[in-house]
């Protein structure tokens, strides 16, 4: 890191003590995909062949206590629902490892060693105000500006090439190992599937196609001009489901993000399942997330399927 940047980085480090750094002590699962890896490595200044890339350090997790679901049950009455709606990133798609990998390589190439948990915290914290802007920014622009703000906060250089590469990362995440089978199982039960995602249409189309994911109803941030926890996502999805004969009280919402999804489900009276995936950080704090009360809790999508059987 340039000498002139060191005071800024040190000063910034003293004020990043919120949200994700206080979340989970479960070991982090680093399983970043290979998709577009070479171009992103080049963009952040790491030109070594893939085989020579050293493994990224796993972030240290601090303790964070989340109150258990108020009405946590082991079984969900399948006969009570005709559709399942989903938060996609973090619930179906495993996005945190790839984001951590990109940010870690970028900061190391810039001469800084910053723990992954701190990087993810800064990313999640700085991204939120950008998603509140109206008219809403497209998600690639949110990502680009988030990286630029992170560079300013850490006192690091960031190239236009790196920001462009980061703006495309949402289209390349991989599904969790249980996601495709779980969605297929729910569909085979006769349930309609809806996706509510804080994403642009193009990235959503690319990532779902690459992972073999299909939904009957799709609501993106670009479609409704807003990002969750704005209620617009939910009302749009519920209207689409109502159009095919499924009322709100027959919809089960499944989500990893307490902040973006479970809070809203509580506010509008939608039955919800919190997917508390071990070791994953985003969406656990802020805007009422700590006191949100899902109707059910599971640690995977496979568990949700078993609860509905």
Q: Which residues are catalytic?
A: 87
Q: Which of 306, 278, 294, 234 is nearest to 90 (CA)?
A: 278
Beta bridge partners of 86: 195, 254
Confirm if 106 and 40 have CB atoms less than 8 A apart.
no
């Amino acid at each position: 890191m340039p000498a002139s940047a060191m005071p800024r980085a040190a000063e910034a480090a003293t004020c990043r003590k919120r949200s994700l750094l206080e979340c989970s002590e479960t070991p982090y699962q680093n399983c970043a995909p290979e998709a577009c890896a070479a171009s992103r490595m080049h963009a952040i200044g790491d030109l070594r062949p893939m085989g020579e890339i050293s493994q990224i350090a796993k972030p240290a997790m601090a303790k964070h206590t989340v109150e258990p679901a108020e009405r946590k049950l082991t079984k969900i009455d399948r006969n009570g629902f005709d559709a399942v709606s989903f938060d996609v990133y973090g619930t179906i798609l495993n996005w945190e490892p790839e984001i951590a990998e990109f940010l870690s390589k970028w900061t190391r190439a810039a001469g800084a060693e910053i723990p992954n948990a701190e990087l993810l915290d800064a990313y999640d914290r700085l991204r939120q105000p950008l998603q509140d802007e109206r008219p809403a920014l497209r998600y690639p622009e949110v990502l680009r500006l988030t990286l630029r703000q992170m560079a300013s906060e850490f006192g690091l250089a960031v190239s236009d090439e790196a920001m462009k590469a980061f703006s495309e990362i949402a289209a390349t995440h991989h599904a969790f190992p249980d996601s495709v089978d779980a969605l297929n199982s729910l569909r085979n039960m006769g349930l309609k599937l809806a996706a509510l995602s804080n994403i642009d249409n193009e990235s959503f189309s690319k990532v779902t196609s690459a992972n073999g994911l299909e939904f009957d109803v799709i609501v993106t941030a670009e479609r409704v001009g807003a990002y969750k926890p704005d209620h617009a996502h939910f009302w749009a999805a519920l209207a689409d489901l109502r159009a095919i004969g499924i009322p709100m009280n027959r919809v089960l919402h499944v989500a990893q993000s307490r902040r973006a999804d479970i809070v809203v489900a509580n506010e509008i009276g939608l039955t919800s399942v919190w997917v508390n995936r071990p070791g994953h950080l985003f969406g656990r704090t802020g805007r009422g997330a700590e006191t949100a009360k899902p109707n059910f809790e599971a640690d995977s999508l496979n568990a949700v399927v078993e609860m509905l059987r």
